[in-house]
């Protein structure tokens, strides 16, 4: 992930130029995003990362050999499936690793939209090198979009609530394919006769059935209580939609209800560490009549005893 050379390319990009390492190199772009997300969201200690620049944007990359190799291996297989036109979504899932099964906390979703469907439109391998006349974007355009994309990741903590500090965090990846008859099996896996490195999974974005919240409603007419059960809501945060040649990349983040529950538990068990104090001599609180309304003092009289 070294610094990039200046670009001088005004041609619309082909499908191969969108994917291949000598052009946009989609695998490297996704890899950079993974490194930065794991750093920014604090999945690993910050001293496992080092700062550098990519597309003139300050980023952080792992300096741990095993983690770097793992990310590279995952992303290379993902991009291999993207080049076939099989991938709809890629999810980097941050999970609570306190006790299995690991609960989802945040999903960083990469949504890929193909301007030309490789499955139905490329009858021959050479079709992937056909250069569109208009409307796709140049290599220089793609790098401008990628700079904005990385800057958005750098600032994501302003839009996303903090992760729980209790226990530990882990992460994994999911692929959503657009053809249920296909399986993501890389060429390297086939040649080495290794078992599949992707296994079938249920929809990770869907809420689990057992994740529910009970609420009690007072029936004032009968003075009885009715307990209802509802599913807590997920929070979706849109990030960026970027044109990368023949592929449109949209990214959004899903915050799962489990995250809010863990944060509430964490706050309830934290030791007293207040920095705000109320002046209340002798434990006497003023009555409503003791307060005078002024423009300088804002208060809610209903909160007073």
User: pLDDT by residue (tens digit) across 137-188?
Assistant: 677 777 787 888 888 888 888 888 888 775 588 899 988 888 777 777 777 6
Predicted confidence at residue 34, as pLDDT, reads 94
CB within 8 Å of 131: residues ≥ 6 apart: 11, 12, 13, 14
| Contact (CB, 8 A) for 35 and 49 | yes
User: What's the rounded Cα separation, in Å, for the pair 68 and 147?
Assistant: 22
Tell me what pLDDT residue 68 has: 92
Options 3.30.56.10, 3.40.190.10, 3.40.50.300, 3.30.900.10; which CATH number does 15-199+234-269 get? 3.30.900.10
Strand partners, 180: none
pLDDT at 156: 85
Compute CA distances 74 → 26, 28, 178, 302, whole Å.
Answer: 13, 12, 19, 57
The angle, 0 to 180 degrees and rounded to 10, between the axes of the packed helices 65-84 and 26-40 is 130
What are the residue ranges in the chain where pLDDT is below 70? 1-10, 16, 18, 21-25, 118-137, 166-167, 188-196, 206-232, 240, 243-244, 263-305
Q: CA 263 to CA 166: how far, in whole Å?
A: 9
pTM summary value: 0.71
């Amino acid at each position: 992930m070294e610094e990039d050379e200046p670009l001088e390319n005004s041609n619309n990009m082909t499908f191969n130029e969108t994917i291949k390492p000598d052009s946009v190199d989609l695998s490297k772009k996704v890899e950079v995003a993974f490194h930065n997300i794991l750093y920014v969201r604090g999945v690993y200690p910050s001293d496992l990362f080092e700062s550098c620049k990519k597309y003139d944007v300050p980023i952080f990359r792992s300096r741990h050999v095993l983690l770097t190799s793992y990310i590279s291996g995952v992303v290379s297989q993902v991009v291999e499936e993207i080049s076939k036109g099989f991938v709809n979504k890629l999810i980097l899932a941050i999970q609570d690793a306190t006790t299995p099964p690991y609960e989802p906390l945040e999903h960083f979703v990469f949504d890929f939209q193909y301007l030309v469907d490789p499955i139905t439109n490329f009858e021959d391998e050479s079709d992937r090198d056909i250069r569109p006349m208009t409307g796709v974007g140049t290599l220089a355009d793609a790098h401008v979009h990628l700079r904005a994309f990385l800057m958005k990741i750098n600032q994501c903590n302003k839009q996303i609530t903090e992760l729980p500090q209790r226990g530990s965090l882990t992460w994994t990846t999911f692929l959503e394919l657009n053809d249920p008859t296909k399986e993501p099996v890389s060429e390297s896996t086939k040649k080495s006769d290794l078992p599949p490195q992707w296994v079938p999974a249920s929809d990770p974005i869907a809420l689990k059935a057992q994740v529910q919240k009970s609420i009690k409603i007072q029936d004032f007419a009968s003075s009885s209580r009715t307990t209802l059960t509802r599913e807590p809501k997920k929070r979706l945060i849109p990030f960026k939609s970027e044109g990368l040649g023949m592929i449109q990349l949209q990214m959004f983040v899903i915050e799962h209800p489990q995250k809010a529950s863990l944060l509430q538990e964490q706050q309830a068990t934290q030791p007293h560490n207040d920095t705000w104090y109320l002046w209340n001599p002798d434990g006497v609180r003023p009555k409503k009549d003791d307060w005078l309304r002024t423009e300088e003092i804002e208060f809610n009289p209903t909160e007073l005893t």
